[in-house]
Structure 1
Amino acid sequence: MAKTLHRLILSVVVSALASIFMTAPAATADDVSPMIVGGTRASTATYPWVVYLASSSGGQFCGGTLVKANKVVTAAHCVSGRSPSNTRVVHGRDDKQSTAGTVVNVSRIWVHPSYRTATSGYDVAVLTLASNLNSATLPLATPADTALYQAGNSALILGWGTTSSGGSASRYLLKANVPLTSDATCKTAYPQYSNTSMVCAGFPQGGVDTCQGDSGGPLVFGGKLIGDTSWGRGCAAAGYPGVYGRIAPYYSVITAQL
């Protein structure tokens, strides 16, 4: 489960601290949590496709990416069991305490049919909005985009989640950059890791990561959405990179929803 269920989208909080790389036992569902640690302020004017998910009362609980005027990609664990009537998408709002931007109703929620838990993969969902947004969108990584997943690529993370594990959520949109890790590195940290459905990102020493409340938010490289914040052990801990849903393998099922 995340700090708030799963890792509710690793947010972008960048605090580059060091600690030695260490391995530890496999993360369990109870270890999963998401948010951005070690990040800096960002603007939806620069990243117009980043959105957040809110309850009908306005409380932010996850992130997402606008990939079509009326379609948002997020994590399955964010919306599994939710109904469209109690889910909103907030676009163009950097400060959660402001009234800027647009709040849009959701008309349909599609969750990958193979999804069971974040740690077992298939952690992807598509929201259909009740009305179109006039905004730039972010292209999806395709199965041909293998180079985008090369270890060492510095990927962008964004979110409104907590800035430390178990800490307070950020009032403002935050961003950070984290290097993609090798499959071997991620497998060492998380034995249940599968490169057919997941990709990891983070520094060996920790310090920068997504965290609770960042779940479903974007992992971006090469101008494309390559991942959605999924889970991890704690936030920004040494030896435990963030785990993201790998978008490219889901390209066909996602585009079928678009």
Structure 2
Amino acid sequence: MSVKSRRSLLLASGALLAVAAVTVPVVVGTASADPGSGNQARIVGGEKASLGDHPYAVFLTDGGGNQFCGAVIVSSTAVATAAHCAKAVAKQDIRVVAGREDKRTDDGQVLGVSKVWISKGYSDPTQGDDVAVLTVRGQLDYRPAKLPGSDDTSVYATGTKATVLGWGRVADGGARSDYLRSVDVPLVSDSECSADYNVYNQKTMVCAGYPEGGKDACQGDSGGPLVVGDTLIGIVSFGDGCGKAGKPGVYTRVSAYTDDIEAQARPRTLFP
């Protein structure tokens, strides 16, 4: 079993960046090439979604305008994403694209990044701490997602239906999506996820998916949001393939990082 992050392969600043293979699931990536198959991924088993319902969903592009990950607005000046996404492209080449449901249009905003914060414990997705906050240059015009309390366990109850959003593949090895897509998946118990992935850490990760598979995030979706209502409970991190039976998607457990995210997302104070 080869476990990878769900970011795709992409060309950035003239260098070919690939997600390192690990002995766990495949991390959902963005719209570039997929690390495992050379293609890109999008939400599997889902449908087109509306930014009217999810205005906080955004995607990241490199210096060439290629989508490589998803992200989520957490304040007027910041987005949260996966650490493996933040490390994939140099800060000066990252662009945050907000308010653009169809990637082929010029809708919304395209903002540069002035600061990148990555959880200090991060080494690779399967070891946890797969979270980052990007401070943008300017102001985001769209409503942020809500953050769970650092001690909030209710939103992580087994069986709770959560929605994952992204512009990645619609099938493992399939073509990328031009549109924002979503799929609803139930949260999986910690004991079940531990049985599925021997690297699972219930303090920093949460799993979601059906036992029979068929609905999941996929390559190109890394860094995107897993929400219950408008509350951000997870960030797409990794998985074993896309939508495989017995292999739910693995997400960063946002409540473990709420305090850090809030501190990094706090709008900057301007002095005369």
Structure 1 and Structure 2 fold alike (TM over 0.5): yes
Query: Which residue of the partner structure matches residue 32 of structure 1?
Result: 26
1:126 to 118, 133, 148: 133
2:245 aligned partner, one-letter code: A
Looking at structure 2, the residues matched to 29 and 177 of structure 1 have their Cα atoms a distance apart, in angstroms, of 27
1:93 to 66, 79, 100: 100
| Structure-to-structure mapping, 1:33-72, within 5 angstroms | 33-34=27-28, 35-72=42-79
Looking at structure 1, the residues matched to 164 and 121 of structure 2 have their Cα atoms a distance apart, in angstroms, of 26
Query: Which residue of the partner structure matches residue 180 of structure 2?
Result: 173
CA contact 2:62–2:89 (8 Å) conserved in 1: no
CA contact 2:27–2:236 (8 Å) conserved in 1: no
1:32 aligned partner, one-letter code: V
CA contact 1:215–1:230 (8 Å) conserved in 2: yes
Query: Which residue of the partner structure matches residue 31 of structure 2?
Result: none
CA contact 2:24–2:239 (8 Å) conserved in 1: no
2:184 aligned partner, one-letter code: N
Over residues 173-229 of structure 1, what are the superposed CA-to-partner deviations in whole Å (9 max), with x where a residue is unaligned?
A: 001100000011101110110110000000000000000000000000143100100
Report the CA distance between 1:38 and its aligned residue.
0.6
Query: Which residue of the partner structure matches residue 12 of structure 1?
Result: none
The structure-2 alpha-carbon separation of the partners of 1:239 and 1:89, relative to structure 1 and needing over 3 Å to count, comes to same
Looking at structure 1, the residues matched to 79 and 173 of structure 2 have their Cα atoms a distance apart, in angstroms, of 27
Gaps of 5+ in 1: 10-26
CA contact 2:80–2:134 (8 Å) conserved in 1: yes
Of all paired residues, the percent bearing the same amino acid is 45
Report the CA distance between 1:114 and its aligned residue.
0.7
CA contact 2:98–2:142 (8 Å) conserved in 1: no
1:252 to 243, 259, 262: 259
Report 1 or 2 for greater relative contact order, CA contacts < 8 Å, sequence distance ≥ 6. 1
Report the CA distance between 1:251 and its aligned residue.
1.2
Query: Which residue of the partner structure matches residue 14 of structure 1?
Result: none
Say whether residues 1:139 and 2:138 are aligned partners: no
Query: Which residue of the partner structure matches residue 23 of structure 1?
Result: none
The structure-2 alpha-carbon separation of the partners of 1:222 and 1:94, relative to structure 1 and needing over 3 Å to count, comes to closer
2:6 aligned partner, one-letter code: R
Query: Which residue of the partner structure matches residue 5 of structure 2?
Result: 6
Q: Report the aligned-residue RMSD.
A: 1.9
2:60 aligned partner, one-letter code: L
Report the CA distance between 1:81 and its aligned residue.
5.0
Say whether residues 1:208 and 2:207 are aligned partners: no
Report the CA distance between 1:31 and its aligned residue.
4.5
CA contact 1:217–1:228 (8 Å) conserved in 2: yes
Query: Which residue of the partner structure matches residue 13 of structure 2?
Result: none
Looking at structure 2, the residues matched to 100 and 32 of structure 1 have their Cα atoms a distance apart, in angstroms, of 31
TM-score (norm 1): 0.89
Give the SS at the match of 1:175.
strand
Give the SS at the match of 1:208.
coil
Deviates more, 1:74-83 or 1:178-187: 74-83
4+ residue runs of structure 1 moved beyond 3 angstroms? 27-31
The structure-2 alpha-carbon separation of the partners of 1:157 and 1:99, relative to structure 1 and needing over 3 Å to count, comes to same
1:147 aligned partner, one-letter code: S
2:187 aligned partner, one-letter code: L
Report the CA distance between 1:29 and its aligned residue.
4.4
Deviates more, 1:218-227 or 1:194-203: 218-227
Query: Which residue of the partner structure matches residue 112 of structure 2?
Result: 105
Looking at structure 1, the residues matched to 225 and 88 of structure 2 have their Cα atoms a distance apart, in angstroms, of 22
Over residues 146-184 of structure 1, what are the superposed CA-to-partner deviations in whole Å (9 max), with x where a residue is unaligned?
A: 100000000011000011112211111001100000011
CA contact 1:181–1:200 (8 Å) conserved in 2: yes
CA contact 2:226–2:232 (8 Å) conserved in 1: yes
| Structure-to-structure mapping, 1:70-89, within 5 angstroms | 70-89=77-96
The structure-2 alpha-carbon separation of the partners of 1:83 and 1:208, relative to structure 1 and needing over 3 Å to count, comes to same
Report the CA distance between 1:82 and its aligned residue.
2.8
Report the CA distance between 1:85 and its aligned residue.
0.9
